[in-house]
Amino acid sequence: MQIKVNIGIGAEDTEKEPQKEEEDKSEPEFGSVEWLYRISDTERNLPSPIDVSITGSTVYSCPELSWYNFDVYPHKIKITNTGYTLLIGAKWKTERPYLEGGPLLEKHILSQIHFHWGENMMEGTDHTVDKIRHPVEMQVTFFKSEYLTQDEAFRHPDGTVVICYIIQYGANPDDRLTWVTNALPKVCEAKTSTRVGPYPMSTLLPMFTADYFFYWGSLSTAKGDYVARWIVPRTNMSASFEQITEFRKLMDPWDEPLKKNFRTLQERGDRHLFFINPRWSQHNSLLPIRRVPEPSMSVLSPAYQANSWMLPPQNKVNLKTDTQEE
């Protein structure tokens, strides 16, 4: 009887050993993009926003982030005062702008853009950088393409990515924000909208391939709490006092000035904050504001390159001009 038990235990150990080896082989290695998703089980529900800083971050290498179709003109752009934030939505007749590479395992499609601000120049951003708040933060939401819509993507822990641009105070107006702030008087009342442009998203969004922070955290909305991956680029923007003041003139649902809508800062705790592909000076966590915006890094997607008829008329004119110059 005892011999049978001993044999049984030996047989079980022999069978389990290969399984353990297979599990070890499937474990992603530190340094791979897949490893960034390994920690989501323990860190994805930790609250955001947090303070980001080079100090205390983990340097990590990823492929370059690639921007597709951000130069393509949308069919229409709508700016809405929701009563809680300023929301920019756009529609394209064919393929939308999207991201690939970086810390992303799949294509992520542009969903919407919204803003956070405060009632003075010492507050406004959700995130702090080196423990400093700035006047405005522009958050750009993307969803994983396989989920088809943002609402569906919210149901999955790997569905949503938010890029958070820090907007600092600047003596001069930032041309990239001009078409946004010029529209604000038209949406002063809550639940009002206006059409603008259309303008390609490259006229608003600074693009980057490296030098940014990445972490997992929860996203609280009026519909519930969701998981998001957060990207805070060192590349930032600026806004003049007059541009920032226009945000504070927007009204909330109770016809009161919406002077502040930023969220409470959360403890970073033991979560990982990754510093992806550092390239430039690391004296400060934010890079210096460029006097002249960098040219667009966007490229046309394979679908547009193979089917130029899909492009809107504005891009066809530019494409023809570029071809003639070559």
Q: What is the pLDDT of residues 289-312, one digit of tens each?
A: 887 778 899 999 999 999 989 999
Residue 140 pLDDT: 98
**Which is more confident, 111 or 21?**
111
Q: Does pLDDT of 4 surpass 60?
A: no
The reply to whether 222 falls in a domain is yes
Residue 317 pLDDT: 62
The reply to whether 11 falls in a domain is no
Residue 209 pLDDT: 95
Question: Structure pTM?
Answer: 0.88
The reply to whether 22 falls in a domain is no
pLDDT tens string 152-161: 999 999 999 9
pLDDT tens string 168-180: 998 888 899 999 9
Name which of 45, 88, 99, 28 is nearest 224 in CA terms. 45
Residue 25 pLDDT: 54
The reply to whether 25 falls in a domain is no
Query: How many C-beta neighbours within 10 Å does residue 48 have?
Result: 21
Which band of pLDDT confidence, cut at 50, 70 and 90, is reported for residue 322?
very low
Residue 223 pLDDT: 75
Residue 172 pLDDT: 86
The reply to whether 141 falls in a domain is yes
Give the CA angle between residues 72, 75, 81 to the nearest 5°: 105
Identify the burial level of 255 via C-beta atoms within 10 angstroms of its C-beta, where 0-12 means exposed, 13-18 middle and 19 or more buried: exposed
The reply to whether 299 falls in a domain is yes
Q: How many contiguous H segments (helices) and E segments (strands) does the chain have?
A: 8, 15
The reply to whether 138 falls in a domain is yes
Name which of 213, 223, 260, 263 is nearest 49 in CA terms. 263
Which band of pLDDT confidence, cut at 50, 70 and 90, is reported for residue 26?
confident
Mean per-residue pLDDT, 49-55: 96
pLDDT tens string 222-242: 777 899 999 999 999 999 999
Name which of 99, 93, 141 is nearest 299 in CA terms. 99
Name which of 227, 125, 236, 240 is nearest 182 in CA terms. 240
> For residue 126, which phi and psi values (nearest 5 degrees)?
-65, -55
Q: How far lies 95's CA from each of 38, 153, 300, in Å?
A: 31, 18, 10
The reply to whether 21 falls in a domain is no
Residue 183 identity:
A
Q: Does pLDDT of 72 surpass 90?
A: yes
* CATH number assigned to the domain comprising residue 62: 3.10.200.10
- How many domains in the chain? 1
- Give residue 118's Cα distance to chain centre: 21
From CA 143, how far away is CA 326, in angstroms rounded? 36
Residue 319 pLDDT: 55
Percentage above 70 pLDDT, the chain: 89
From CA 291, how far away is CA 259, in angstroms rounded? 28
From CA 238, how far away is CA 286, in angstroms rounded? 12
Domain that holds residue 225: 30-321
H or E stretch at 194: strand 192-196
Question: Are 157 and 227 spatial neighbours (Cβ–Cβ below 8 Å)?
Answer: yes
